[in-house]
Amino acid sequence: MTKLISSTMIPKGLLLLLIYCFSMMGWASEQLSPSYRLNAGDSIAISVWNEEQLQQEITILPDGRFSFPLVGELEAKGKTAQQLQQLITQKLTNFLTDPLVTVTVVGVDGNTVYVLGKVAQPGRYVMQQQADVVKALSLAGGLSSYAQENDIIVLRRQGGRQTTYPVHYADIKSGQSLATNIVLHGGDVLIIP
């Protein structure tokens, strides 16, 4: 006969520890990769230890920059949180002795791509890490049976100019034209005719 484990068989402290560990495993899986590069629209929290007036949550502006007290305007787009942390620390040494700076990514809305056309779930997708065209198509549920697999395009706006990148999905599936499986940038629009 199978005997169920009762709560009296597991010490209360161990049970709480197990619950904590399992909940942290789920939390850790949602964390960003340390190599995540910031984009316009992302939100970051900056704190300087023991300097209450230097604790801020900031949204990176469309030009990729933001302003922070004492250091002025800084470029964030394309940098990791750690690179930004080092830059702010360096700039603050002109005003503070050994500043201890922490930069945390709190929102990645700037790394949004749009998948339109003949896919199972067209829409807006926020990428937690760098993603290429094939990953984005996978998130959108894959292509419909009527999609024109070698006529997919990526629209990218940079510096007021729009560029079109062709994607040859049927060729990618067969191991050819792999270079067309480009890494997507925040704001890219993937169109599947």
Q: What local confidence, expressed as pLDDT, does residue 110 receive? A: 80
How do the pLDDT tens digits run along the chain, 193 residues long?
Answer: 444 444 445 455 444 444 444 433 333 334 667 888 898 889 999 999 999 999 999 999 988 999 999 999 999 999 999 999 999 999 999 999 999 999 999 988 888 999 999 999 999 998 877 889 999 999 999 999 999 999 999 999 887 899 999 999 999 998 998 999 999 988 899 999 9
Q: What is the CATH number of domain 43-107?
A: 3.30.1950.10
pTM: predicted TM-score of the whole model, two decimal places:
0.64
Question: Exposure string (b/e) for 28-55, b if CB count within 10 Å is 16 or more?
Answer: eeeebeeebbbbbbbbbebbbeebeebe
pLDDT of residue 11: 53
pLDDT at 6: 46
How distant, in Å, are the alpha carbons of 62, 64, 91, 129, 160 from that of 100?
28, 24, 12, 27, 38
C-alpha triplet 20, 26, 30: angle, nearest 5°: 135
Domain boundaries, the chain: 43-107, 111-192
Q: Which homologous superfamily is 111-192 in?
A: Outer membrane lipoprotein wza domain like (3.10.560.10)
**What per-residue confidence (pLDDT) applies to 139?**
92
Q: What is the DSSP string of 57-92?
A: EEEPPTTSEEEETTTEEEE-TT--HHHHHHHHHHHH
**What was the pLDDT predicted at 23?**
39
pLDDT of residue 172: 92
